[in-house]
Amino acid sequence: RTETMMPPRPNLFDFHGVSMIHYFTDNWENIQNFKARPDDVLIATYPKAGTTWVSYILDLLYFSQPDRQKSTPIHERVPFLEIHIPNFSSGIDLADSLHTSPRLIKTHLPVQLIPKSFWEQKCRVVYVARNAKDNVVSYFHFDRMNFVHPEPGDWNSFLQRFMDGKMVFGSWYDHVTGWWERKQSHPKLHYMFFEDMIEDTGREIDKLCSFLGLTSTAEQKEKIRHLAQFDNMKKDDMANYSTVNIMDFKISPFMRKGKVGDWKNHFTITQNEQFDEDYKKKMKNTTLQFRTEV
Ligand code: A3P
């Protein structure tokens, strides 16, 4: 598929104080009225923080049936709650039609926009965060190839827009700190980091199991750790989004690099200094800490 066959790029607009595009707000009434079930597990992230990786692992931990993983793309196994794109099943419809228990549901919404039913039902939530520098680099390449997002423009203007919070799903700074604050009062929220996953995936799988109350054996966990390695997921058409025709993989693959520290190949010295200075100001009131290398 060429660019001309892709849907037109949408515009960003302000939605309850968060930059959004219509594909994630068109179904808003159904999203806000979504009926969560007490055993639903919500996987919440800012875009490009490792959503697919953690979704893939959770799906394997709960449902290790070969035909499920071989025949159904990850975005159908783990519906994306707020997505509503013409000619695709909406996230709400997919979630409503899931017969599994639990249901694994993905969202990129900031904490204040999560449908209240998830809190009322006391669902477990897994939040994945990634350091801002690698997150923005990954987001830049994603917006180049994903035609349901606005044009990224050049790297320098994209970075500026990220710092200004003018991205789909709003400000990274508000997102990661908003969820971090919620964790302090919500016992069923597991806050995890992309960098920790890279450093020791097995350890992070163990932590997920204890949070979720899963009793997977060491052998099962080792198998899942292996299946969820970058190179294996990259080859898996049910995980690499190759079944989705809103992305142009010639521009950039979905499974792009999967590393900590790729930001060093993108930030100039000046950009890095300006970013760090601005970061300190934006993050001065939080105890949340990130690693930009491991
Ligand atoms: P990069 O663009 O830096 O490579 P999301 O699923 O939230 O959209 O995040 C996508 C990012 O996670 C991409 O980052 C992708 O390569 C990375 N990723 C996905 N699966 C991974 C894995 N198994 N190991 C390491 N990184 C992975």
Question: Which mutation among 46, 48, 265 tests ligand 1's pocket best, with the greatest number of atoms within 8 A of CB?
Answer: 48
| Residue bearing the CA closest to ligand 1, atom 14 | 258
At the topology level, CATH places domain 3-282 in Rossmann fold (3.40.50)
- pLDDT for position 4: 56
Predicted TM-score (pTM) of the model is: 0.97
| pLDDT number for residue 257 | 98
CA atoms within 13 A on the CB side of 188: 16
More confidently predicted of 258 and 243 = 258
- List, chain by chain if needed, residues with CB within 6 Å of any ligand 1 atom: 45, 47-53, 134, 138, 141, 228-230, 233, 255-258, 262
CB atoms within 10 A of CB 177: 20
8 A C-beta contact, residue 114 and residue 179? no
Phi, psi torsion values for 19, nearest 5 degrees = -70, 130
> Has residue 156 got a pLDDT over 70?
yes
Task: Output the residue whose Cα is nearest ligand 1's atom 23.
Answer: 230
Centre of ligand 1 to C-alpha 257, Å, is: 7
- The DSSP result for 209-246, as a single string, is HHHHT----HHHHHHHHHHTSHHHHHH-TTTS-TT-TT
Ligand 1 pocket, mutate which of 227, 230, 292 (most atoms under 8 A from CB): 230
Q: Which atom of ligand 1 is nearest to the CA of 252?
A: 2
The pLDDT tens digits for 216-232 are 999 999 999 999 999 99
Q: Where are the alpha helices (DSSP H) in the chain?
A: 28-32, 51-62, 66-71, 74-77, 91-96, 116-120, 132-145, 155-163, 172-185, 194-199, 201-212, 218-227, 230-235, 269-282
Mean of pLDDT values over 133-150 = 97
Q: C-alpha 102: how far from its chain's center?
A: 19
